[in-house]
Amino acid sequence: MRDATLVISTIVESAGRGRRVDNTWTLMRGAMRAAEAPTGLRKGTVRRVARFARPHWRRLAVFGVLTVLSAVLAVSTPLLAGRVVDTIVGGGPASTVLWLAVLIAAIALADAGIGLAERWQSAHIGEGLILDLRRAVFEHVQRMPLAFFARSRTGALVSRLNNDVIGAQRTFTATLSGLVTNVVQLVLSFAVMVTLSWQVTLLALVLLPVFVLPARRIGRRMARLQHEAAGLNASMTTQMTERFSAPGATLVKLFGRPRAEADEFGERADRVRDIGVRTAMLTRWFLTSLTLVSALAQALVYGLGGWLALRGSLDPGTVVALALLLTRLYTPLTALANVRVDVMTALVSFERIFEVLDLTPMLTEKDRTTPLPEGAVSVEFDDVRFSYPPADQYSLASLEEVATVDHRGGEEVLHGVSLRADPGTMVALVGPSGAGKSTIASLVPRLYDADSGSVRLSGVDVRDLSFATLRATVGLVTQDGHLFHDTVRANLTYARPDATDDEIWDALRRARLDELVRSLPDELDTVVGERGYRFSGGERQRLTIARLLLAQPRVVVLDEATAHLDSESEAAVSEALADALRGRTALVIAHRLSTVRAADQILVVERGEIVERGTHTELMRREGRYADLHRTQFAGEAEGALA
């Protein structure tokens, strides 16, 4: 009979050991996170988290109930195993053993079903939370001013939408589930063990520090290694991202040192390999030590429990139940020792997300907007003054990866600018670099708001228009001709998603690009490459003009659209622009004065002020600043041609 008891206890113990080894991985991860645990949270973070969780409260309630049921079933199995042993030792009826076995099997099936249902609920909660957070952050970031994107590192910003969102989601899945399960399982296990034998329970608690110490010590070492590996991986990712882009690869081939760069990359990769080997060995040592300590603890329980059983103080089945309940006691205790770390770490991810959401968009749309009159649109600046705001109003040090955000700023760059472009006319802005021409142009589509004065379209202040109206009315072509890594069709229809193929081809024809696109292997479905680098500079610029033609804006702003093109490309782009500007109000910034001679009005901008205005002929007669710029530029071009 004792042999039968030993066999049964060994089988049940081995089943418990499988669960225990699985749980050591969770314990190890918690101990690693303890080394990087945050020290505090901003006031109100938990309330804001609760607001995000509120739409999922029904699933959270079901999830909590399932978690409690799973914990109850985990504690009940050892008790039934003990009953089986007592029945066998006592020579009880076989039917009782069979019914207990059936009940254990039923509990196992129920536990499996509850586990699936629990995972279903947690997946819906977690993925739903990720969806809500990503939507909120993405929509909010899109409302930020251009200066925000100019200062923020793209990788750091994307990390908020990926790593931090997933870290925040962990609060409602692993952390919440572990907290509820471990608390319920700990309370039930402790209560049952005290009821069965307070002496054995006391022995288990005395050995607890020996069980926890390996996790703490090795966890700190592994956290340091993982932190170093993360930094090395980030450096390798940055190096690859910069060197593998089209401009970066060109720079490396022209001026770089491929061998030195490969060696530098190899050194980091070699260090990551060494860390991987050390981590693997520490992990194995960790699991081995915990398994050994747990086995020793169970040996002590069997020793004390067996001695009490031989004295008649305990039943043999109770000894087996206590040994199995020991794992249900140790695992929750060690996990709960790190629960503050888990919760704080997850909440810090929320804080990093709230940091972005707390940035106030500098441009807002009024609740009641004013419609724009039909027909051609006039553009008017009335005593406009503007200064770029300091970075601390719209940026974060963590996104710039600096210690503190630059507080400087607020210096006025436009001083009382007034101008008017009548419907269907072209107004050109000329002047030296840094004079404020691009700043003036950026106020028309409301990329920024004027500090004082007003910018009006057909008599309506741009701040009174909806963003949709502004996008439909004003089209901007910059000198870089940016394109997404997508097809020709997708890049063109970005401005007008409902455009037909006939309309797309018509826009390409008017942009003098239809023959080129028809010669491509996939025509409109040809991928343009990163930033459009599969096309030449002139071709990229004409694609952006085709996109403008497809959008059909009533106001066109050209910001140095031909500044960096050769003569042949400039001629082709100029032809396309002439078609794009026909019948539209145009505000043109030009460095080459030859491109704006036919403008209805030319404004000379210097130090944020308009110092001259008139037609080309009028300004040349005045022998003022424009005439000086004209003579200087054309004399330089003549000398270059002669050379």
Tell me the pLDDT tens digit for each residue of 359-413.
777 777 888 888 888 888 888 898 888 888 776 666 666 666 555 555 566 678 8
**pLDDT confidence bin for 19, thresholds 50/70/90:** very low
Classify residue 527 by its DSSP letter: B
List, for residues 301-358, the tens digit of each pLDDT value.
778 777 877 777 777 877 787 777 777 776 776 667 656 656 666 777 777 778 778 7
Domain end residue (candidates: 335, 357, 379):
357
pLDDT at 519: 86
Give a yes or no: residue 397 inside a domain.
no
- SS3 of 263, please? helix
Residue 451 has a CB neighbour count (10 Å cut-off) of 14
Element (H, E) at 406: none
Does one domain contain both 284 and 427?
A: no
Q: What is the CATH number of the domain that holds 157?
A: 1.20.1560.10
pLDDT at 102: 87
pLDDT at 339: 63
CA distances from 357 to 49, 364, 389 (A): 13, 15, 19
CA dihedral 268, 273, 276, 280 (to 10 degrees): -160
Per-residue pLDDT, averaged over 623-632, amounts to 80
Does one domain contain both 435 and 346?
A: no
User: Above 60 in pLDDT, residue 564?
Assistant: no
Per-residue pLDDT, averaged over 127-152, amounts to 78
Give a yes or no: residue 367 inside a domain.
no
- SS3 of 65, please? helix
Does one domain contain both 427 and 348?
A: no
User: Above 80 in pLDDT, residue 212?
Assistant: no
Give a yes or no: residue 527 inside a domain.
yes
pLDDT at 409: 61
DSSP 581-597: HTTSEEEEE-SSGGGGT
Domain end residue (candidates: 308, 337, 357):
357
Classify residue 486 by its DSSP letter: S
Count up the domains in the chain and report the number: 2
User: Above 70 in pLDDT, residue 171?
Assistant: no
pLDDT at 573: 64
- Contact between 60 and 172 (Cβ < 8 Å): yes
**pLDDT confidence bin for 639, thresholds 50/70/90:** very low
Residue 507 has a CB neighbour count (10 Å cut-off) of 27
Tokens 């997850």: give the residue. Answer: 346
pLDDT at 24: 46
Which tokens is 96 given?
């009782």
When comparing pLDDT for 621 and 226, which is higher? 621
Domain end residue (candidates: 357, 373, 399):
357
Weakest mean pLDDT among 230-234, 511-515, 525-529: 230-234
User: Above 50 in pLDDT, residue 36?
Assistant: no
When comparing pLDDT for 473 and 478, which is higher? 473
Does one domain contain both 130 and 226?
A: yes
When comparing pLDDT for 247 and 261, which is higher? 261
When comparing pLDDT for 75 and 31, which is higher? 75
Classify residue 532 by its DSSP letter: G
Element (H, E) at 341: helix 339-357
Write phi, then psi, for 458 (nearest 5 degrees): 50, 40
Give a yes or no: residue 399 inside a domain.
no
Expressed as residue numbers, the domain containing 480 is 420-443+458-642
Does one domain contain both 353 and 427?
A: no
- SS3 of 314, please? coil
Per-residue pLDDT, averaged over 510-523, amounts to 83
**pLDDT confidence bin for 207, thresholds 50/70/90:** low
pLDDT at 37: 44
Give a yes or no: residue 28 inside a domain.
yes
Residues 6+ away with beta carbon under 8 Å from 118: 63, 66, 67, 70, 177
Does one domain contain both 148 and 254?
A: yes
CA distances from 221 to 30, 132, 211, 218 (A): 13, 36, 17, 5
User: Above 70 in pLDDT, residue 635?
Assistant: no
Q: What is the CATH number of the domain that holds 542?
A: 3.40.50.300
Does one domain contain both 270 and 186?
A: yes
Query: Packing angle between helix 198-206 and helix 316-337, nearest 10 degrees?
Result: 40
- SS3 of 612, please? strand
Which tokens is 64 given?
């909590």
pLDDT at 67: 80
pLDDT at 227: 64
d(C-alpha 453, C-alpha 204), whole Å: 77
Q: How much is the mean pLDDT over the chain?
A: 75
Give a yes or no: residue 450 inside a domain.
no
pLDDT at 201: 77
- SS3 of 609, please? strand
Does one domain contain both 221 and 347?
A: yes
pTM of this structure: 0.64
pLDDT at 3: 43
Give a yes or no: residue 553 inside a domain.
yes
Does one domain contain both 348 and 427?
A: no
List, for residues 145-160, the tens digit of each pLDDT value.
777 776 776 666 777 7
pLDDT at 34: 44
pLDDT at 395: 66
Per-residue pLDDT, averaged over 566-572, amounts to 63
Give a yes or no: residue 484 inside a domain.
yes
User: Above 50 in pLDDT, residue 31?
Assistant: no
pLDDT at 246: 64
